[in-house]
Structure formats: structure tokens, C-alpha cells
Structure 1
Amino acid sequence: MTRSTAPPLPPPMARRHLRETASLTRGQVAARMGVSRETVRAWESGRSTPRGRKREAYARLLNTLEVEAAVTATQVKTTGAAEEQRTAGASGGSPTAVAAGADSAPAAGEIAGEAGAGTEAGREAGAAGPPAPVPAGDAAVSAEGPHGPEPGSVPGSGPDAENAEPAERPGTLTPAQAFDALYAFCAPALVRQAYLLSGRRELARESVERAFQLAWERWPEVARDPDPAGWVRAAVYEYALSPWHRFRLRHRHAEAPPAGISDRLLMRALLKLPPSHRRTLVLYDGVGLGLAETAAETEATTPASANRLLRARAAVSARLPELEDPQELHRRLAELASTERLRTGRPPSVRAGSERRARFWTRAAIAFTVALVGATALTVRTAPTQYEPPVAPGETVRGVPPRQAPGPLSDEELQLRAKLRDDLQSGTQRLVPQAR
């Protein structure tokens, strides 16, 4: 009697990477395998290994996800080639061919972004594209996994990115192509998350564009980051929740609320929450991050994040009692995020905006430096070369009678004047000094 050999499984980190690349949550994998979500977490962390039929089914699922990941990588490379054709269109390519190459990018976007690329809680935030083949009740707001794409899933990122030859080796993407792939993967869901945080459509789009412009300015740092999608998400949240927006003129006028009454009430309840509670609620119940990951991204302790989450849920359920169940709250957040059909700009325009912004601040810094040097030179030129002590202020001298103006003479003074005049005419001869 022979025993059947157990099918091989990839390492635990590769299992998680395959699941996130295929835009599946732990809950969706658990539903397919007929196990709990914690069991899938244990399989991916290496704490346990499936056996028997579960192992065979899990191996078949991972094999299917690996094939889909290879197809997605091929589509990303095709998108990069289309971008190169667009930039080289001026060298002789026809406008029709260039446009056809550029239109291949939305195909990858439909898989990675518009269809709702993988989250810890589901796909529904990418509802702007064609529906993805996932259970209808398992949806989320985010377009990336709980940690975003792994370093190897975004071309041009990870530890091997700094040692890669950008233009020599075939199949290596340029920094611009890697940035475009990250943008197509994350932007569609991030704009929906920013809308949940701010309640403003224009501010949500602006937050995503400014965050990606900052990422392009610091692209070497972002490309080497273990979680580039999380880096950009943190920048989006910081900009969307900035308190300085209320001083801008265009943000003093309220935007049109959501069309549905239930969506309007939910958005009003979210905006009543403090910014820190709102951010924690969106990350945990919307994006689907774990409590420890939510605490790390909000720069708080795990007990503090749990307290914020409980308070936020209590405040929302007090206004909307039907959302007391976390699963129902998660579903309603996903529906509210996907209803508005928010769109983002194209990656080349975002990169161009970042470069214009960098040029502006560079020129401003140069102009300020020139003005400072000119002011310093003028000061040195006009400054005195020797020390001149200041004139001391006058002091009052006591005991000296004040000067009086001449007035009328008295009788005694008149007599004395007459006597002096008479003596000068008829008096004795004046003594004249003589030299010896």
C-alpha cells in the first residue's frame, strides 16, 4: 500500500503575497477553503500547515493565484511598453498607434484598481470598474492589501531596486513606469478613502495627487520602502485631515451631499467624529487593517487605537442604530465609498505636477538666497568703518541763575550811568601803559 505524497506549498510569506497580489482577503480565502479567517492567518504566518484535503485544495488555490499573478505582471509590462511608445510618438509613431498603446493601461487598472485590488476586507471600493468575481458581501474600501503590495509586487520597489540596471537589462521598468504601476494599483481606492475622511470630492482627488507627487519627489525612498502603498496612504490621510483646509476660500462652501438618504446620514455621522477616530474607523472597518497595523499607521498605541475604534463605532451606531454590527458598518462604508464614482488624474500628469512643483520651490529658494546675499552686501557697503560714540544728552546745572533779558533801568542805575559819562569827559587823564 502506497501513501500519496502531500502537495508542496510555497513559503508562508509567499502565500500571503500571492493572496494580496490576486486581490483576495483572508475572509474570501477562508470561505473558499471552508475554514475560519484565523486559520488562514495561521497558514500565512507559518504557525500551522494544512493537512489532507485542505492542503490539496490550498495548494491548488495558490497555484491558480500564481498563474494569475504572472498574467497581471505581463499586463503591467505591457502598460510600461505603451508608455514608452507614447513618449516616443514624436519620433515617427502614428497618433492612432500611440493612443492605442496608451489605452492598454486601463486594462491593468481594471484588474488592479478599478475592480478593487486586494484589501484585508474586500474589493468593493474598486466598483468603478467591472465587478470582480468575489462574494458580494465581502467588500472593502481599499485597493491594496493590509500592507499594500509587497516590495516585489510593485515594479521598481523593494531591496533589489537600488541594484537594478534601469535601462540595460530587459524587462526592468524605469522609475516612471514603476511609479505608474503603483499609482494604478492604489489611486482608485485611496481617493475613495480620502472621500470618507474629508467628505469632499475635490479634496479627495487633490489629496491623492499631492501624496503621489510627494512620493515621486522622494521616489528612491518610497521604492525601497517595504510597504510603498502604506507610505502613500499615510500621506493621503495626513493631507485630507489637515486642519488648514478650512481657511481656504473654496472649502468654506459646502459640497453637494451624497444622493441617497442613508449615504447622507452615514457621511454626516462620519464627519461628526474627531479626525483621529474617523481615521481609525476607516482603516480598521473600511480598509480592513488589523488593530496593531492601524495603531502603527495612526502613530498610537494598540489600546488607544482600540479605544478610538470603540468610541467611533458607538458614535456612529448612536446616530444609525442599524450599523451597530461591524460587518454591516463595513459594508455600508464600502457602498458609500463606491457610490460617488470618483476619478483620478493620469500618472504622467501627476508626475509633471510634481516636477513643476519642485522647479517652483527650487527657483523660490534661489531667489530668496540671492535677495539675502544682496541685502548682506548692501549692509556691508553702507555700514560705518569706525566707531563714533553718540553725543551724550544734556544735563541740568543747578545754582546758576537763569539769564534775563535787559529791561528798564532803575533810578540808581540811571544816576550811575550819568556819572560815568561825565567823568569820562572831564575827569583825570587815563593811564596809558608804556613799554620799557
Structure 2
Amino acid sequence: MTRSVETTSSEDSELSLPAPKERRRLREAAELTHDEIAAAVGVTAATVRSWESGRTAPRGRKRELYTQFLARLAARRQDGGPAGPPGEAKTARAAEEPAADPPVPDPPTGDTPTPDPPASDRPTPDTPASDRPTPDTPASDAPSPDARTEPEQLPAEPPARVPVPGPAEAFDALYALAARDLARQAYLLTGRGALALEAVEKAFVQAWDRWPEVATDPDPVGWVRAIAYEYALSPWHRFRRAHRQLDKPPAEPADRILLDALLALAPANRRTVLLYDGVGLDLPDTAAETEATTPTAGHRLVHAHADLADRIPELADVPLEKQSALLRDLFTALRPAVDLEPRPAAVVRGGGERRTRLWTRATLSLTAMIAVSTSYTLMTAPTHYEPPPAPGESVSGVPPLAGPQQLTERGKQLHDKLRADPEAGPARIAPRIE
């Protein structure tokens, strides 16, 4: 049983995007630069030039932002009439500025006929006669138009101070924006829910440790995404017992086929097709994030689409130009069988700070131990050189050691006689009379 996926929204977005020449004409009519368009959409100026030349096309969220921005430019151009050449056209910022105050006419003189007052200023039957202006009333007593229309001057109040969010609030906002989507993308890369959540947390912990660099990065989500992808696709996880087996497959047969087809791709091709078709990056940005050249990323994408078409029945009957839109819908509709809810941002940020404190304390303890060992060695080490003792030598003039003397001839005879006597033993001690 296969599941049909609707592609109406993607086709509508393709139809609503103007042609490359129309994009450039709208930008020039509004007197905007490539850098200003890039800053509004969230891409680089080179990407905007590529879109206007027709070499590449925006995808995903960037396509929607670019289409809405061009629609606003076209609406402003229609409201202001046909735009002239770029040098005479109004900029988008000038169109939003309020118009200047109209000039105040000079007060009427005696020779100039006074125009009739408007209907709102004419006396009505309900107006008392005392309030009606008479010809004898001097002009100075009549309220001037400025006095009637000018509002009462109130004391200027100081503008309310908007609190500037700190680093923790900015990190929490980034985490709430991208953590759940990154966990889903890491799951599509690995097929393991625990590893996906671990990769996202590792990436955000590293982002918090280097927050000044991440906060000033033009694409902080891309910075965190690159770290999460690298950690999730690390080959060292195969040696971990907890990540050797895949998680429970999805319940839908179409989701199982899609996930098995993705995991059968090479890691580089899997990452390329997920960035291009799932996230919606264009080919140059995909090549830059995968640290490859644009032709290499294109070849990887072509091979990945061919392998997926062989494994996914729904993709085999779709033309090549519509495979990306169908894959994007399939990635969005996939429902994992595991929970991919990341932990709160405060917990992740606190865990990173706690880990940093532990490493700092361990480093300080090791440094203290090395310092103590070095001090003890310096205190107990000899301060001068002591040569080893020389080997022994013969010394003359010293008397030999005292000991038993050599036996004489008579002594040897007595010695032999005592040893040869048959009555050896205690009986020899008793005296014998001869």
C-alpha cells in the first residue's frame, strides 16, 4: 500500500515565481542592490545573482521568502504607476516614507474674494444665533483655521526602552527555531532517534560554548546544522553498543521504504540529497556545506536520485524535474516510530555549562598535581653531583688477616692418629690405665 502525496503547493510556488529577467527588472526598478536583496531573503549576494541569471533557482523556505519579496516590489510598482528607468525610479524605502506637508496658502486680502466656507463650517439651524459669525465681528475674534485644527501640545514623553535580549535568550530562540527540525533531519541521516537527539544537543552545546561566533554568523542555523550532521555521520558510532542497531522502523510501509532507501545511500550522497531536497538549499550552498565543489555535489545528487528511484515506487514514475518536489513532500510526511522531542533549551545550555565547569575543575586539579609533584622533585633532588665509588685495588703494607697456622709434620701425624683411632666417641674421654 503506497501513500499519495499532493504537490499542489510546490507547483503553485513555481508558477508564482517570476522569470529570471523579471526578477532583475523588479530589483532595478526599485533601485535595490544584490546585497539588499540577499539581506532580506537570508542568502549571499552571489546566490541572488545566480537566481537572476537563471543558473539556479531558490528552493524551500528561501523560495517562499524570495517570491513574497518580489511580490511586494511588484505591488509597490503598480501603486506608484509605471516605473521609469532605474535612475528615476523610487526606492522601496522612499515609497514607504510619508509625503511632505502641503504648503499653507497665504491669508486672503481685501481685493481677493473670500471663498465660501465648507459645509462643515456653515451655520446650521440648530446653531445659536450668538455663536453665528456676523459681518461686524472682527477677523481677530474669529478663530483661525490653525487654531481650530492644531492639536493641543502635550509634553513629549520619553520613548519606552525595549529590553535587549541577552545571549541566553537569543540561544533559546535559536534552539526553539531549529532544534526539532534538526533532530528530524539527523534521524533521516542515521535511522537512530537517540543518536539524532545526541547530535543535536552536541551541536547546540558547541554553539553555546562559541556563542559570539555563532551570534555574528550570517546563517546560525546552518552553523549548527553542519556540526550536527558531522557528528551524526561519524563512523566511530559503529563501535558503540547503543548505536549498532537501528531503531524500530516506521509504521507506514511508504515511510519504511523511504527510510531504507535513504540509509542505503552513501553518507555523502545521503547528506547532499537531504540538504538539496529536504532543507531546500540550492546547489552552490549545498556544495559549500558538504565541503565539495558544485560539479561534485551535482553528480552526487544525480546518483542519489537514480538510486532512490530504483527503490521508491512513487519516485520511479515522476519526471526528473519534479523528483525534488516529491522527495521534499515525502521527507515532510515521514512519521518516525520513535520520539524526536529534544530536551528544553535551558537543560541543554545548563548541561553544557556544567560540563565546562567539570572540565575546568579537572584541568585545574591536574595542573595542581603536576605542580606539587614538580615541587617535591625539586626539593628532594640532589643539589650537587656525587661520583660513584671507584672499583677495588690491591693495597700493600697491610698485615694479612689472622687465622689457623699451617700444621707441622708432627701435628699432621697426631691428626691422622686421632682420626684413625677406633675408639672414637665418648669412650675416648674416659682415662685408661695401660
Pick the TM interval, shorter chain.
0.5 to 0.7
* Count of matched residue positions in the alignment of Structure 1 and Structure 2: 274
Q: CA deviation at 1:384?
A: 3.5
* Alpha-carbon distance in 2 for matches of 1:208, 1:344: 8
Check if 1:358 corresponds to 2:321: no
Q: CA deviation at 1:175?
A: 1.2
The counterpart of 2:249, out of the listed 251, 257, 264, is 257
Check if 1:214 corresponds to 2:206: yes
Distance change (3 Å), C-alpha of 1:337 and 1:261: closer
Q: CA deviation at 1:269?
A: 1.9
AA partner of residue 264 (structure 2): K
Q: Could you list the structure 1 runs, at least 4 aligned residues long, displaced by more than 4 angstroms after superposition.
A: 6-21, 36-41, 48-55, 337-341, 388-394
SS of equivalent residue, structure 2 residue 178 = helix
Number of the residue aligned with 2:136: none
Alpha-carbon contact 2:287-2:293 (below 8 Å) kept: yes
The counterpart of 1:300, out of the listed 275, 279, 292, is 292
* Alpha-carbon distance in 2 for matches of 1:13, 1:192: 32
Distance change (3 Å), C-alpha of 1:357 and 1:242: same
* Alpha-carbon distance in 2 for matches of 1:393, 1:203: 70
Distance change (3 Å), C-alpha of 1:200 and 1:9: farther
Query: Whose helix proportion is higher, 1 or 2?
Result: 1
AA partner of residue 188 (structure 1): R
Number of the residue aligned with 1:200: 192
Alpha-carbon contact 1:196-1:337 (below 8 Å) kept: no
Q: CA deviation at 1:286?
A: 1.0
Alpha-carbon contact 1:195-1:337 (below 8 Å) kept: no
Q: Spell out, residue by residue over 1:197-243, the C-alpha distance to the aligned partner (whole angstroms, 9 max, x if none).
A: 11111211121122111111111111111111111111111111122
Check if 1:176 corresponds to 2:174: no
AA partner of residue 254 (structure 2): S
The counterpart of 2:278, out of the listed 286, 298, 302, is 286
The counterpart of 1:344, out of the listed 332, 342, 345, is 342
TM-score (norm: length of structure 2): 0.53
TM-score (norm: length of structure 1): 0.53
Moved more, 311-320 or 255-264: 311-320
AA partner of residue 224 (structure 2): V
Q: CA deviation at 1:315?
A: 2.4
Check if 1:239 corresponds to 2:231: yes
Q: CA deviation at 1:52?
A: 7.0
* Alpha-carbon distance in 2 for matches of 1:58, 1:252: 64
* Alpha-carbon distance in 1 for matches of 2:236, 2:390: 53
Alpha-carbon contact 2:57-2:282 (below 8 Å) kept: no
Alpha-carbon contact 1:196-1:267 (below 8 Å) kept: yes
Alpha-carbon contact 2:249-2:337 (below 8 Å) kept: no
| Structure 2 unaligned blocks of 5 or more | 1-27, 49-55, 82-92, 94-159, 317-322, 393-406, 413-434
SS of equivalent residue, structure 1 residue 226 = coil
* Alpha-carbon distance in 2 for matches of 1:275, 1:347: 29
Alpha-carbon contact 1:191-1:208 (below 8 Å) kept: yes
RMSD (CA atoms): 4.3
